[in-house]
């Protein structure tokens, strides 16, 4: 039956190819590209979509300036780093003159540059100043943007065939560069410059530049796809095999481009995930209901590869978003993707019964959507950056992921990426994780949570083992920041999410840093065990909050714009540090207080006679509604910030160490509920923790 079905499919494909051959001797993709080239030459611009054999999905011609009548817009974007640093972008944009964006005033050839300028400026206006919520909030852009920006942006987008103003992937990435390369396919991160940078930092240049370089790497892939269609039309399986081999090599080269997104300080061009979060990460998030953001889902490379490899399901959230994004693509891009389906190489391979051809195809497609392929590698890269960014205050991704989970939202994003990868017909089996011989060295949680700094070393636990990552920090491909944020905690879920526990080579590497097993004390009663586990939760959360707070020093001395100087508090830094202080008071301290309250109740159950009244009174104050967000004192200068950060860090460290003392009391041998002196000592420690939290909360 299977052979009969394959025979029917092959007959159907063959008949369809005969029909196509009578219509045209050239592959459909090639025909669409040539039509697009003719149309764009005739129009004198590429507003219907960048598409050519020479440049692929990249523009053949990039306008570096608007006409003199619109020089105010060019000057505005040239000043963006300064305006963002001084937090005066909104005031400056509001005072802009209202320029005419009609065809009579602004010729078609300038539309794409105008769309990039106005779109980037609009997002800077909303995202880079003040503390505007990152959720979809408004019904229209006019609800927040001044007329000098909203009106011309609307006109420009309508002239480009868009239903409403939006910063598209074309605006922010595809058309937002210039390069010294002599060829379009030779554009790289190293030889390009952004036409409209917002902050001008290496984080912005690297993140956007990598996506631009991937677009350049798409050009030879596009050529090979045309050849693949040609060989299917001529039923030349031998030449098709060579083409598939070439495609496999090209996908490998494209995957290596992602390696340039490196957070490791040992890498010469590393980018700081903390600074990336506060400058680039949130810029593209839309704020109008129903609008699609300029997320990586819109990259034409992924859509081209999905069609070519035969993806037929788009049921996941990311898959559905991809379909929505595709509907907003320029007409030439949509026609090209449709042409890929007219001659399906994946169907031809499936029906061929040629084992060598099918094996080559499987190897090629795995290099794209396999667990160890481009999409798997991309997922692991993304995880590290998102694990950092969500911990320091990011609430959602550009496409709205991460807001459903109250804790560890980066896992939600990771799971969605994995679902989208598997939806592409990739069913890689997880490798079995063999049992390892446990180390004789026993480590208690009280020790684990205290190893989360440069002075003590960076430890973490996973699946009952404890690891010391101190000497691996600078070598970690995902950067040292994610390790510092995870130190002092159990990160089994995170390691499992990125495949580190199912990858044999990574597992073996982990074993070289293993220092022992995580020990759990024996308890005389279930109440004692419950109290201990409550202390474990509090201790690990305290370590996490301490780790997050240390990143504020990184922010204070880092570059949020290209103009920033050491030991100078800019308005933008002051804004982000104030946000961090408010987040500490309004989110982190209440979270610690809730865990402390659980521990308090558990301790009370061990001895109802314990005097916990003072601690209870403090807890009532901590858990009662406060004055709302934004209660922290504004920072006036560098010294004031530094002093505040140091004091807060000192108290957070003290909280963690006090919890470690409580854990140690349980971990000492022979703990029983009848030991009054030990319980009274724990009660006193709880009171000290509550006192520190009260000060940290600003109450």
Predicted confidence (pLDDT) per residue in 11-32, tens digit: 444 545 444 444 457 999 999 9
Same domain? For 612 and 640 the reply is yes
pLDDT in tens, 436-487: 344 458 899 999 999 998 888 899 999 999 999 888 877 777 788 888 888 9
Among residues 121, 123, 117, 114, the alpha carbon closest in space to that of 47 is found at 114
The DSSP output letter for 95 is T
Asked whether residue 467 is assigned to any structural domain, the reply reads: yes
Range of the domain at 470: 430-518
- Residue 488, sorted as left (phi over 0), alpha (psi -120 to 50) or beta, turns out to be left
pLDDT in tens, 352-387: 999 999 999 999 999 999 988 999 889 888 888 888
Same domain? For 239 and 380 the reply is yes
Same domain? For 487 and 402 the reply is no
Q: How far apart are CA 145 and CA 90, in angstroms?
A: 9
Q: Taking a C-beta distance cutoff of 8 angstroms, is the pair 698, 621 a contact?
A: no
- The pLDDT of residue 416 is above 70: yes
Please tell me the predicted confidence (pLDDT) of residue 613.
Answer: 74
Domain boundary (466, 500, 518) is at 518
**Least confident segment among 340-349, 357-366, 444-453, 609-618:** 609-618
Please tell me the predicted confidence (pLDDT) of residue 132.
Answer: 54
672: confidence class by pLDDT, cuts 50, 70, 90? low
Tokens of 422: 């598997």
Asked whether residue 436 is assigned to any structural domain, the reply reads: yes
Mean pLDDT of 172-190: 96
Same domain? For 438 and 419 the reply is no
Domain boundary (402, 423, 444) is at 423
C-alpha dist (Å) from residue 301 to 222, 257, 533: 9, 13, 48
Q: How far apart are CA 82 and CA 89, in angstroms?
A: 9
Same domain? For 109 and 123 the reply is yes
- The pLDDT of residue 239 is above 60: yes
- Residue 359, Cβ neighbours under 10 Å: how many? 12
Strand-by-strand arrangement of the 457-462 sheet:
442-443, 514-518, 465-468, 457-462, 452-453
- Residue 621, Cβ neighbours under 10 Å: how many? 14
Tokens of 641: 């910030």
Please tell me the predicted confidence (pLDDT) of residue 131.
Answer: 61
Asked whether residue 63 is assigned to any structural domain, the reply reads: no
Asked whether residue 33 is assigned to any structural domain, the reply reads: no
User: Mean pLDDT in the chain?
Assistant: 85
242: confidence class by pLDDT, cuts 50, 70, 90? very high
First to last CA, the chain: 75
Same domain? For 378 and 449 the reply is no
| Residues 6+ positions from 105 with CB-CB distance below 8 Å | 69, 70, 99
Asked whether residue 626 is assigned to any structural domain, the reply reads: yes
Q: % helix / strand / coil in the chain, to the nearest 5?
A: 60, 5, 35
- The pLDDT of residue 296 is above 90: no
Among residues 315, 425, 324, the alpha carbon closest in space to that of 366 is found at 425
Domain boundary (485, 518, 551) is at 518
Asked whether residue 551 is assigned to any structural domain, the reply reads: yes
Please tell me the predicted confidence (pLDDT) of residue 429.
Answer: 32
The DSSP output letter for 574 is H
Please tell me the predicted confidence (pLDDT) of residue 18.
Answer: 45
Q: Which DSSP helix (H) or strand (E) runs through 500? A: none
CATH value at residue 218: 1.20.58.480
Asked whether residue 62 is assigned to any structural domain, the reply reads: no
Same domain? For 401 and 447 the reply is no
Same domain? For 204 and 300 the reply is yes
Same domain? For 341 and 455 the reply is no
Please tell me the predicted confidence (pLDDT) of residue 632.
Answer: 53
Q: How far apart are CA 537 and CA 604, in angstroms?
A: 17
Among residues 637, 656, 639, the alpha carbon closest in space to that of 696 is found at 656
400: confidence class by pLDDT, cuts 50, 70, 90? low
63: confidence class by pLDDT, cuts 50, 70, 90? very high
Report the chain's C-alpha Rg in angstroms: 29
Please tell me the predicted confidence (pLDDT) of residue 340.
Answer: 92
What is the number of domains present in the chain? 3
Vertex 514 angle, CA 511 and 516, to 5°: 135
- The pLDDT of residue 173 is above 60: yes
Q: How far apart are CA 243 and CA 395, in angstroms?
A: 44
Among residues 182, 181, 179, 187, the alpha carbon closest in space to that of 210 is found at 187
Please tell me the predicted confidence (pLDDT) of residue 237.
Answer: 95
Tokens of 354: 């040629």
- The pLDDT of residue 677 is above 80: no
CATH value at residue 466: 3.10.120.10
Q: Taking a C-beta distance cutoff of 8 angstroms, is the pair 132, 126 a contact?
A: yes
Percent with pLDDT over 70 in the chain: 88
Calculate helix-pair angle for 331-342, 28-43, nearest 10 degrees: 160
Q: How far apart are CA 20 and CA 524, in angstroms?
A: 79
Please tell me the predicted confidence (pLDDT) of residue 281.
Answer: 84
Same domain? For 227 and 270 the reply is yes
Please tell me the predicted confidence (pLDDT) of residue 6.
Answer: 46
Same domain? For 481 and 525 the reply is no
pLDDT in tens, 134-157: 555 677 777 889 999 999 999 999
Same domain? For 471 and 569 the reply is no
Asked whether residue 179 is assigned to any structural domain, the reply reads: yes
Q: Is the dihedral of CA 652, 654, 658, 660 positive or negative?
A: positive
Q: Taking a C-beta distance cutoff of 8 angstroms, is the pair 321, 423 a contact?
A: no
| Residues 6+ positions from 613 with CB-CB distance below 8 Å | none
């Amino acid at each position: 039956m299977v052979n009969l079905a394959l025979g029917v499919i092959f007959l159907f494909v063959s008949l369809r190819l005969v029909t196509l051959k009578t219509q045209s001797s050239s592959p459909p993709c090639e025909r669409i590209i040539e039509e697009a080239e003719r149309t764009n030459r005739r129009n004198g611009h590429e507003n219907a979509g960048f598409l050519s054999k020479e440049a692929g999905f990249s523009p053949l011609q990039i306008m570096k300036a608007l006409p003199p009548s619109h020089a105010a817009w060019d000057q505005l974007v040239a000043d963006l780093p300064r305006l963002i640093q001084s937090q005066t972008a909104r005031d400056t944009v509001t005072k802009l003159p209202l320029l005419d964006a009609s065809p009579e005033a602004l010729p078609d050839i300038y539309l794409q540059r105008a769309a990039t300028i106005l779109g980037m400026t609009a997002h800077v206006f909303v995202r880079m100043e003040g503390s505007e919520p990152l959720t979809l909030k408004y019904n229209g852009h006019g609800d927040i943007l001044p007329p000098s920006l909203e009106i011309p942006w609307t006109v420009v987008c309508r002239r480009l065939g868009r239903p409403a103003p939006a910063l598209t992937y074309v605006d922010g990435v595809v058309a937002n560069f210039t390069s010294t390369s002599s060829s379009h396919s030779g554009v790289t991160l190293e030889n390009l410059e952004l036409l409209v940078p917002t902050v001008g930092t290496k984080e912005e240049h690297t993140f956007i530049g990598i996506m631009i370089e991937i677009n350049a790497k798409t050009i030879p892939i596009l050529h090979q796809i045309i050849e693949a269609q040609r060989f299917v039309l001529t039923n030349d399986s031998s030449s098709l095999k060579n083409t598939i081999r070439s495609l496999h090599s090209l996908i490998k080269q494209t995957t290596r481009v992602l390696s340039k997104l490196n957070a490791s300080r040992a890498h010469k061009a590393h980018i700081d995930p903390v600074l990336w979060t506060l400058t680039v990460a949130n810029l593209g998030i839309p704020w109008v209901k129903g609008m699609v953001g300029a997320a990586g889902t819109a990259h034409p490379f992924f859509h081209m590869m999905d069609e070519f490899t035969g993806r037929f399901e788009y049921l996941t959230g990311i898959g559905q978003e991809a379909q929505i994004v595709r509907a907003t693509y320029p007409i030439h891009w949509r026609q090209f993707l449709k042409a890929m389906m007219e001659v399906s190489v994946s169907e031809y391979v499936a029906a061929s019964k040629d084992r060598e051809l099918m094996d080559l195809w499987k190897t090629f497609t795995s290099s794209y959507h396999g667990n160890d392929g481009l999409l798997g590698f991309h997922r692991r890269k993304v995880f590290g950056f998102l694990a950092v960014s969500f911990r320091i205050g990011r609430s959602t991704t550009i496409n709205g992921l991460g807001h459903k989970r109250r804790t560890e939202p980066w896992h939600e994003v990771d799971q969605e990426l994995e679902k989208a990868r598997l939806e592409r017909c990739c069913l890689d089996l997880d490798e079995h994780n063999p049992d390892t011989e446990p180390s004789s060295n026993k480590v208690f949680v009280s020790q684990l949570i205290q190893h989360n700094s440069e002075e003590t070393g960076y430890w973490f636990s996973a699946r009952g083992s404890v690891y010391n990552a101190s000497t691996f920090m600078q070598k970690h491909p995902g950067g040292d920041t994610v390790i510092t944020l995870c130190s002092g905690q159990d990160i089994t879920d995170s390691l499992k999410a990125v495949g580190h526990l199912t990858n044999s080579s990574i597992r073996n590497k982990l074993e070289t840093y293993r220092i022992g097993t995580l020990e759990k004390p024996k308890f005389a009663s279930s109440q004692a065990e419950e109290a201990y586990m409550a202390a474990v939760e509090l201790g690990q959360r305290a370590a996490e909050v301490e780790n997050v707070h240390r990143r504020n020093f990184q922010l204070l001395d880092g570059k949020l714009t290209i103009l920033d100087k050491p030991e100078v508090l800019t308005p933008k830094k002051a804004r982000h540090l104030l946000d961090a202080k408010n987040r500490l008071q309004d989110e982190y301290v209440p979270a610690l207080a809730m865990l402390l309250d659980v521990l308090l109740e558990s301790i009370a159950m061990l001895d109802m006679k314990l005097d916990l009244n003072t601690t209870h009174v403090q807890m009532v104050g901590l858990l009662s509604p406060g004055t709302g967000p934004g209660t922290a004192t504004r920072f006036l200068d560098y010294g004031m910030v530094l002093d505040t950060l140091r004091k807060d860090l000192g108290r957070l460290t003290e909280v963690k160490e006090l919890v470690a003392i409580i854990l140690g009391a349980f971990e000492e041998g022979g703990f029983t509920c009848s030991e009054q002196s030990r319980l009274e000592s724990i009660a006193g420690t709880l009171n000290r923790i509550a006192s520190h939290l009260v000060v940290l909360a600003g109450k």
